[in-house]
């Protein structure tokens, strides 16, 4: 009986345990399902459907890939608001972050008398304490204000080159604003003079890297013109200015329009400056030019408010009187008119003359009559003061009964001759004639101003002055041998590659061609030959044809880069002109070359009239640029050897010295 009771009790407990376990299991599944559904719906409602939910009992497991870290955080926050944090198992990932784009870097540099300001956002690697120290030294006691922000990103292409160009330029411009971006520099600056403005513009254009964009706006204060001079001539050679000054752009335009109406052709220049005697200058000049046009031939000279109108002897007296009367009646009150109807010149058998000739090398020869011995000493000593003591050779003679003011005319002429690079001065009792070549575009204005100031606006002056830009020290243009040397220097470290066995220039050769095109600036006026050469491998005919095709390919590539090739020619020489033996690879490589040869040192764009042009014997090329070229069997690498030194230009001996 007792045994049976024990068995029943045991069975009851076991049954109760099984029922409890089953109930607990059911409750756990119910809680798990409800948690899964509740969390999933909440995530979808919050816009976080990317998160996947799994449950394991009371634990909630999150899986999936979040689009970004904030989305992952928001998903965890949603789940954490529904279940306890310790029940959440986070196995989510975040998508790999795309590379963050670098910001737009820019730099603005301001420099004035107070110092230097740096403003902008630049790459962290481009800023250094050394640079700031150099700018502090450049400021010369002024303050360097550093307002730069930096970002730790790689420097974009072209940034380092543009920033370096900007800092280098800043050293030459005491008042400037320079803006820098990747591969682009923009400059606004003020210079002290027109000549300095020209020098800065030339320097900027020459230093600009070929692959960098450059914009600049350089201004200069207007020059003070004393006396304010204008000189206009109408004769058998046509109508033209010897000198032109204006006080405003509007006045300049009126003057040039009136000059064109009087027959002037081609480009007309007129210097805008300060020192005008009257704000009605433009109107007065316009009236006077109209009067000279009516006369047909003559000379008009303004020197401040004094006007001299000299009519040619061919003008009828009645026309002269009528035109002069109308002009006198209408000129503004401040202006004073002197008029003259010249008489026909009578030839004399013994003309009285003073002559001075200035040669290209600066030597000056004085001849003719100068008055008394004391006056001769004055003239020769003045010439030595102007041109240098050793440069002047005196061959003058004393004479009596010379016209009044003869020495003054000679001295004024010598002062005007000083404005020329080379030329001649002829002084006669009736006229002063100055002809020659100048290194300044304003030489004619300066000479006319000197003669008008020293001799009066009514002096009979004949000026024929040509501006040769290749003599201008501000422009510093290269001559022919210097151009060849420049090509040598550029291509010495560069290579132009061709496709194997062809004349097609490889893509890798584009950079060298760009540099070559940059080196051709200001050199396209000289006659040059691009010669192609090969080694001795392959047949003579094939080498000759390939060398011609490759020289022509270089010529076409320059033309494609907007280089004028009118004075360039291409010629193939094949293997006929080796510079090394062809029995070694090094020798063959040296013989595969492109050679630039100067054919004519006379600039073709300035004409043969330039007295300063240099002549070169056609049978003796001045210099050749050797470069490697491909042979017929493989692709080529083109280089250019730099000659040992530039060939000097010959200087002709002045005629008449010491005679």
In three-state secondary structure terms, 587 is: helix
Please tell me what DSSP assigns to residue 509.
G
Whether domain 106-219 has CATH 3.65.10.10: the reply is no
Phi, psi of 551 (to 5 degrees): -65, -40
Euclidean distance between CA atoms 566 and 564, whole angstroms: 6
pLDDT for the residue 379: 93
Q: Output 593 or 242, whichever has higher pLDDT.
A: 242
Tell me how far the alpha carbon of residue 85 is from its chain's centroid: 70
List, in sequence order, every residue forming a beta bridge with 224; answer none if it has no partner.
Answer: 274
pLDDT for the residue 655: 40
Confidence of residue 134 (pLDDT cuts 50, 70, 90): confident
- The predicted model gives 247-253 an average pLDDT of 94
Euclidean distance between CA atoms 619 and 621, whole angstroms: 6
pLDDT for the residue 336: 94
- Position 626 pLDDT exceeds 70: no
Could you report the per-residue pLDDT of 80-117, keeping only the tens digit for each? 888 787 788 888 888 764 445 678 899 999 998 889 99
Euclidean distance between CA atoms 69 and 362, whole angstroms: 80
- Position 389 pLDDT exceeds 80: yes
Euclidean distance between CA atoms 490 and 145, whole angstroms: 39
Confidence of residue 126 (pLDDT cuts 50, 70, 90): confident
Give me the CATH topology for the region 27-94.
3.30.1340
Question: Are residues 354 and 396 in contact, defined by beta-carbon separation less than 8 angstroms?
Answer: yes
Other C-beta atoms closer than 10 Å to the C-beta of 318 total 8
- Position 392 pLDDT exceeds 50: yes
pLDDT for the residue 258: 96
Angle of CA points 228, 233, 237, to nearest 5°: 150
Confidence of residue 408 (pLDDT cuts 50, 70, 90): very high
Other C-beta atoms closer than 10 Å to the C-beta of 90 total 13
Euclidean distance between CA atoms 39 and 61, whole angstroms: 10
pLDDT for the residue 2: 56
In three-state secondary structure terms, 269 is: coil
Confidence of residue 15 (pLDDT cuts 50, 70, 90): low
What token pair was written down for 535?
Answer: 């080694």
Euclidean distance between CA atoms 312 and 317, whole angstroms: 11
Range ranked top by mean pLDDT from 399-403, 526-530, 607-611? 526-530
Whether domain 354-467 has CATH 3.60.20.30: the reply is no
Could you report the per-residue pLDDT of 139-198, keeping only the tens digit for each? 877 888 988 899 888 889 889 999 999 999 998 899 999 999 999 999 999 998 888 888
pLDDT for the residue 202: 85
Confidence of residue 3 (pLDDT cuts 50, 70, 90): low
Confidence of residue 18 (pLDDT cuts 50, 70, 90): low
- The predicted model gives 275-285 an average pLDDT of 95
pLDDT for the residue 347: 57
pLDDT for the residue 16: 55
pLDDT for the residue 538: 83
Torsion of CA 443, 445, 449, 450, to 10 degrees: 10
Predicted model pTM:
0.62
Could you report the per-residue pLDDT of 418-468, keeping only the tens digit for each? 999 999 999 999 899 999 999 998 999 999 999 999 998 888 999 999 998
Please tell me what DSSP assigns to residue 288.
H
Name which CATH class applies to 480-638. Answer: alpha beta
Range name among 201-205, 206-210, 241-245, 425-429 with the lowest pLDDT average: 206-210
Euclidean distance between CA atoms 25 and 43, whole angstroms: 27
Domain ranges (residues) in the chain: 27-94, 106-219, 229-341, 354-467, 480-638
pLDDT for the residue 42: 82
- Tell me whether the CATH fold assigned to 106-219 matches the one assigned to 354-467: yes
Q: What is the overall mean pLDDT for the chain?
A: 82
Tell me how far the alpha carbon of residue 156 is from its chain's centroid: 24
Range name among 111-120, 360-369, 625-634 with the lowest pLDDT average: 625-634
pLDDT for the residue 410: 94
pLDDT for the residue 230: 96
Give me the CATH topology for the region 229-341.
hypothetical protein tt1634 (3.40.1520)
- The predicted model gives 126-133 an average pLDDT of 80
Question: Are residues 636 and 493 in contact, defined by beta-carbon separation less than 8 angstroms?
Answer: no
pLDDT for the residue 96: 61
Confidence of residue 622 (pLDDT cuts 50, 70, 90): very low
Q: Closest Cα partner for 593 from 577, 581, 604, 605?
A: 577
pLDDT for the residue 187: 95
pLDDT for the residue 29: 57
Element (H, E) at 432: strand 432-438
């Amino acid at each position: 009986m007792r045994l049976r009771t024990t068995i029943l009790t045991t069975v009851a407990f076991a049954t109760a345990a099984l029922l409890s376990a089953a109930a607990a299991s059911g409750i756990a599944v119910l809680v798990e399902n409800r948690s899964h559904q509740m969390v999933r719906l909440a995530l979808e409602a919050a816009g976080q459907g990317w998160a996947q939910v799994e449950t394991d009992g009371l634990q909630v497991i999150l899986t999936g890939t979040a689009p970004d870290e904030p989305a992952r955080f928001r998903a965890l926050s949603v789940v954490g608001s529904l279940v306890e944090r310790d029940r959440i198992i986070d196995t989510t990932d975040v998508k790999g972050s795309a590379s963050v784009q670098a910001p737009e870097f820019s730099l603005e540099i301001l420099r004035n008398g107070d110092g230097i300001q740096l403003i902008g956002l630049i790459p962290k690697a481009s800023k250094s304490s050394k640079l700031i120290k150099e700018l502090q030294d450049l400021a010369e006691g002024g303050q360097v204000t550093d307002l730069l922000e930096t970002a730790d990103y790689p420097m974009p292409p072209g940034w380092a080159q543009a920033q370096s160009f900007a800092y280098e330029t800043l050293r030459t411009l005491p008042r400037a604003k320079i803006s820098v971006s990747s591969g682009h520099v923009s400059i606004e600056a003020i210079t002290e003079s027109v000549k300095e403005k020209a020098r800065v513009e030339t320097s900027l254009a020459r230093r600009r890297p070929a692959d960098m964009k450059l914009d600049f706006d350089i201004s200069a204060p207007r020059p003070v013109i004393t006396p304010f001079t204008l000189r206009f001539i109408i004769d058998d050679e046509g109508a033209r200015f010897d000198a032109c000054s204006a006080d405003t752009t509007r006045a300049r335009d009126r003057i040039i329009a009136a000059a064109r109406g009087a027959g002037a052709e081609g480009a007309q220049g007129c210097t805008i400056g300060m020192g005008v005697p009257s704000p009605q200058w433009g109107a007065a000049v316009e009236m006077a030019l109209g009067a000279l046009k009516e006369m047909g031939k003559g000379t008009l000279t303004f020197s401040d408010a004094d006007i001299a109108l000299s009519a040619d002897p061919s003008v009828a007296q009645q026309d002269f009187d009528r035109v002069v009367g109308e002009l006198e009646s209408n000129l503004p009150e401040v202006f004073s008119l002197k008029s003259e109807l010249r008489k026909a010149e009578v030839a004399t058998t013994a003309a009285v003359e003073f002559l001075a000739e200035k040669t290209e090398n600066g030597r000056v020869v004085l001849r003719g009559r100068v008055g008394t011995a004391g006056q001769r000493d004055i003239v020769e000593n003045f010439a030595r003061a102007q041109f240098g003591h050793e440069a002047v050779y005196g061959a003058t003679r004393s004479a009596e009964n010379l016209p009044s003011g003869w020495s003054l005319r000679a001295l004024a002429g010598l002062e005007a001759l000083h404005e020329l690079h080379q030329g001649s001065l002829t002084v006669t009792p009736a006229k002063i004639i100055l002809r020659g070549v100048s290194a300044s575009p304003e030489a004619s204005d300066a000479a006319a101003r000197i003669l008008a100031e020293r001799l009066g606006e009514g002096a009979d002056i004949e000026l024929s002055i040509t501006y040769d830009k290749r003599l201008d020290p501000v422009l510093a243009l290269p001559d022919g041998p210097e151009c060849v040397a420049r090509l040598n220097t550029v291509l010495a470290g560069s290579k132009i590659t061709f496709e194997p066995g062809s004349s097609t220039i490889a893509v890798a050769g584009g950079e060298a061609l760009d540099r070559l095109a940059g080196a051709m600036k200001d050199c396209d006026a000289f006659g040059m030959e691009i010669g192609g050469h090969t080694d001795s491998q392959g047949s003579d005919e094939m080498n000759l044809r390939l060398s011609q095709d490759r020289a022509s390919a270089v010529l076409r590539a320059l033309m494609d880069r907007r280089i004028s090739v009118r004075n360039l020619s291409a010629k193939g020489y094949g293997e006929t002109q080796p510079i090394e033996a062809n029995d070694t690879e090094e020798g063959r490589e040296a013989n595969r070359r492109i050679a630039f040869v100067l054919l004519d040192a006379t600039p073709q764009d300035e004409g043969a009239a330039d007295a300063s042009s240099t002549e070169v014997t056609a049978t003796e090329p001045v210099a050749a640029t050797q470069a490697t070229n491909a042979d017929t069997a493989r692709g080529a690498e083109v280089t250019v050897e730099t000659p040992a030194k530039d060939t000097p230009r010959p200087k002709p001996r002045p005629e008449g010295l010491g005679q």
